Structure 1
Amino acid sequence: MSYIKRILNIDLPQQQSAFLWGPRKTGKSTYLKNRFPHSIIFDFLKTDFFIEVSKNPALLRERILAKNINMLKHPIILDEVQKVPQVLDEVHWLIENKGLRFILCGSSARKLRRGHVNLLGGRAWRYEMFPLVTAELKGINLLHVLNHGMIPTHYLQDDEECKRSLKAYIQDYLKEEVFAEGLTRNIPAFSRFFDAFGYSHGELTNYSNIARDCGVDSKTVKEYYQILIDTLLAVRIDSFKKRQSRKIITKAPKYYLFDVGVA
């Protein structure tokens, strides 16, 4: 599969680190490997490494400091960092005491924020990776985009492959991002909610109607929307209009999925 050059340009000065966030399969890891070919990469998707560092976060520091000094001149990449949030204390120490640079890559900051872990106190810039945009493509077929979406893998597949990939994408999301992280115990209800959201995204939100369709209460539906936002699958747009009295009349918000193909 050919590599599509992305517009995003992470250009870090000396002693500057960064977070790179983005939904699953938007091309974060591929981008970093191409943008920083000489960087050391630690991938927490590797089960053995994940288990070792989960038990002993200091192991990451030991492995990094054991590397050749010339290799440490480049940013060190930690992929899927949200899986082991406790390593951020080690990263902080290495930044402060060894002057190392890091790029921390992940698909959800929810676990980090909710766990009140060390987010490096402003020492890391924030970047976000989105699906493909038109400027990254030589030509564009609108019907193809509407059916496939702009996630790189899906966009480059034929119709039948993409259909299977989109189904697998949702299943993996429910399994890896929602169930495995314990974001909700009622996966069937969340799955029904996700289907309902796919049909109504971009419209004014009626929490009661969606709650009725999913068999849960409105409060739970609002929590489900927040899960989508925290896992970077959706954005919330609040609507309002001003009156002459300067009071703001709020309306129901709109939620948009990050990619039309997933809808």
Structure 2
Amino acid sequence: MIRRLLNLSESNSFFLFGPRGCGKTTLIHEIFKNKNAFWIDFLNLDFELRYKQRPQLLVDEYMASAKKPEWIIIDEVQKVPSILDAVQQLIEKYKVKFVLTGSSARKLKRSQANMLAGRAFNFSLFSFSYLELKEQFDLLQVLQFGSLPKLYNKELYNEQDKIRYLKSYVSTYLKEEIIVEQLVRQIEPFHRFLEVAAQSNREIINYSKLAKEAQITDKSVARYFEILSDTLMGHLIPAYHKSIRKQQIESPKFYFFDTGIVRAIRGELNYPLKPKSYEYGNYFESFIVNEIIKQNIYLEKDYKISYLKTKEGQEIDLIVESRLKTFLIEIKSCEVLDSSEVKALITLLPSFKKAAGLVLCTNNNPNMLTKEIKAIHWQDGIREIFN
């Protein structure tokens, strides 16, 4: 089994959210296989219906059990939000610990479910990081097909099977997450939106442009991006500004959580990705941003992540702010760079205090482009960001 970076609690109840197929159930099985645990899987329709009809059944079954479980593990908890009141009762009265997994917190929040404030930690899991894959990591393969766990379990023997899996993943997302969970009233407008959103992956969101292309309203575009974010299909990256109010006024960028999924939605899987091409550079940027987001979440750093674009059109791909230092980051998929390719970084870096300029690229030899700006291999650069 590929070991995950995420360090889950083994002493306190917690939620574990993540996109479908990212390995939540596999990880929980590995950690809790030798513990005194009772499992409930709401993908089993019988379980779902039983507990929907009478959520208090959970408490009754616990009280009736001869050997009281230390842990109760509920898979796909968003399917039965009402069970969380019974979960709270068991936590408070009987000190039972819970693992609650799901592919989205949206339905729980929208149904005003009991989110166990202060009683359960929150964790998120995504597709494999390069740090988890280790010697199995292949940059071109990850940019082409992504890094969902099923691609590495030896069931998918060739590229055609990988393509079939990724296509089915997208249709399953639409069916299971959007239609079954009733997140939208009509699926066709959302399907059109999904296609244009994938085309604008890593770009600043232009709500009116996307609305026109998808034949929906600006408000629908904003709501659909919220759905993508809440179902963990991607990340909204805000625009940088010292004023939080002004930061919220500027449009964010959106990065899908996995490059393979973006290519599946865009219908590009049958076309090999060519190194040094424009498309390769775009997917390389998307991959790097997702790696930084994953490590920020897994290591619980709470760094602020944003992008910057000035009125003059100068743009910084990523700004990562910790309490002690700020990194202004440009992402380049090439090996050879010179200072002429990072003019925005040179111009804007002096405006930041305690800041360093990093150009994350594929060159194995660090290169000082200026006194304050370093071109560095992307793996070394991410390591430096997270110390």
Normalised by the size of structure 2, how large is the TM-score? 0.63
Q: 1:51 aligns with which of 49, 62, 70?
A: 49
- The higher relative CO (CA closer than 8 Å, separation ≥ 6) is in 1
1:235 deviation in Å?
1.2
Q: 2:39 aligns with which of 14, 34, 41?
A: 41
1:221 paired with 2:187, answer: no
Matches within 5 A, 1:65-144: 65-69=63-67, 72-73=69-70, 75-139=71-135, 140-144=137-141
Q: 1:145 — aligned with what?
A: 142
**Which segments of 5 or more consecutive residues in structure 1 lack a partner in the other structure?**
none
- Native 8 Å contact 1:149 1:155 kept in 2: no
Distance of 2:102 and 2:246 partners within structure 1 = 37
CA distance change for structure 1 residues 152 and 48 in 2, over 3 Å: closer, same or farther? same
- Native 8 Å contact 1:85 1:117 kept in 2: yes
Q: 2:59 — aligned with what?
A: 61
Number of residues paired by the alignment?
Answer: 255
Kindly name which structure, 1 or 2, has the bigger radius of gyration based on alpha carbons: 2
Q: 2:313 — aligned with what?
A: none
Distance of 1:248 and 1:93 partners within structure 2 = 42
CA distance change for structure 1 residues 235 and 247 in 2, over 3 Å: closer, same or farther? closer
- Native 8 Å contact 1:145 1:155 kept in 2: no
Residue aligned with 2:81, SS: coil
1:248 deviation in Å?
4.3
Q: In the TM superposition, what whole-angstrom CA distance separates every residue of 1:39-61 from its partner, at most 9, and x where no partner exists?
A: 22110110111111111111122
CA distance change for structure 1 residues 240 and 159 in 2, over 3 Å: closer, same or farther? same
Distance of 1:76 and 1:214 partners within structure 2 = 43
Amino acid at match of 1:152: P
CA distance change for structure 1 residues 247 and 259 in 2, over 3 Å: closer, same or farther? closer
Residue aligned with 1:72, SS: coil
**Which segments of 5 or more consecutive residues in structure 2 lack a partner in the other structure?**
263-387
Amino acid at match of 2:103: S
| CA root-mean-square deviation | 1.8
Residue aligned with 2:74, SS: strand
Q: In the TM superposition, what whole-angstrom CA distance separates every residue of 1:58-78 from its partner, at most 9, and x where no partner exists?
A: 112222333343x512x2111
Q: In the TM superposition, what whole-angstrom CA distance separates every residue of 1:69-104 from its partner, at most 9, and x where no partner exists?
A: 3x512x211100000000000000011111110011
Q: 2:7 — aligned with what?
A: 9
Residue aligned with 2:182, SS: coil
Q: In the TM superposition, what whole-angstrom CA distance separates every residue of 1:127-148 from its partner, at most 9, and x where no partner exists?
A: 1111101111132211100111
Q: 1:230 — aligned with what?
A: 230
1:202 deviation in Å?
0.7
Q: 2:22 — aligned with what?
A: 26
Residue aligned with 1:122, SS: coil
Q: 2:261 — aligned with what?
A: 262
Distance of 1:188 and 1:135 partners within structure 2 = 38
Amino acid at match of 2:164: R
1:242 deviation in Å?
5.6
1:203 deviation in Å?
0.6
Q: 2:195 — aligned with what?
A: 195
1:10 deviation in Å?
1.4
CA distance change for structure 1 residues 201 and 18 in 2, over 3 Å: closer, same or farther? same
Residue aligned with 1:138, SS: helix
Q: In the TM superposition, what whole-angstrom CA distance separates every residue of 1:119-177 from its partner, at most 9, and x where no partner exists?
A: 11210011111110111113221110011101111345331111111111111111111
Percent of residue pairs bearing the same amino acid type: 40
Residue aligned with 1:26, SS: coil
